[in-house]
Amino acid sequence: MDFILQGVAQAIVLLASGDWETYSAVFATVQVSGLSMGASLLIGIPLGYLLGYLDFPGKKPLRTVVDTLLSLPTVFIGLVVYAFLSYRGPFGELSLLFTLTGIAIGQTILALPVVISLTATAVESLDRHLRLTLVSLGASPRQIFLTSLWEARLGLLIAAVTATGRVLTEVGISMMVGGNIKWQTRTITTAIALETNKGQFATGIALGLVLLALAFAINVSLSFLRRRG
């Protein structure tokens, strides 16, 4: 028990002193998470809207596939992205392997099914008379799209927070695609795994506290936005 208390005390010192090795992992995590979430929301929300709004042949099987991808293992995504970005892969010339951009690509693939599925669910939960009302008022497809998303805004917020939580806590993609390179591609989760294996509990606990703080901030923001909504 003593080593845990000592680790917490040392972790607080590391954070308060601005230890660059600790904060470099934090900055890398924030950067790569921002990139991946921006891409996944930009792509996933329109696709989720179409999946939830339209009726077309094969919709149910497609929805089943999307829902199944919610549990896609991160190590499998890391393996696939690694294969495509390696020098022997089709995108090897882009030199994206062992970069934050490469990690962001993998995390975008991880977050996309979450955003698409939860957005589709939010759109499907809207009042079924909303579409008829908008059409009768002469709304354009763009106006119907924007109005539907506004009405489903709380569901979209939940989708964004859920996807962000999965991105922040994943390890497999960051480790395999990023390579856990110090000062460059080492994220909070990979740093925690590495430092704990090395016996550096203080650094691991410090990064864990930062991860908890990020999760807390996201949930507080969601609660605030839900009250405002």
CATH for 180: 1.10.3720.10
Q: How many Cβ atoms sit within 10 Å of the Cβ of residue 122?
A: 24
Token pair recorded at residue 97: 């392997």
Give the domain extent around 175. Answer: 30-189
- pLDDT tens track for 83-128: 999 988 899 899 999 999 999 999 999 999 999 999 999 999 988 7
| 221 assigned to some structural domain | no
Q: Looking at the domain assignment, is residue 117 inside a domain?
A: yes
164-198 pLDDT per residue, tens: 989 988 999 999 999 888 889 999 899 888 877 77
Cα 164 from Cα 25, distance rounded (Å): 17
Q: State residue 209's pLDDT score.
A: 83
pLDDT at 202: 76
Quote the number of domains for the chain: 1
Does any domain span residue 154?
Answer: yes
pTM: 0.89
- Phi then psi for residue 89, to 5 deg, are -85, 170
C-alpha to C-alpha distance for 85 and 91, rounded to whole angstroms: 5
10 Å Cβ neighbour count for 228? 6
* Among the ranges given (9-13, 47-51, 87-91), the one the predictor scored with the smallest mean pLDDT: 9-13
Q: What is the pLDDT of residue 117?
A: 96
Identify whether 151 is part of a domain.
yes
The verdict on residue 13 lying in a domain is: no
Residue 204: inside a domain, yes or no? no
Report if residue 200 sits inside a domain: no
- Domain-located, residue 217: no
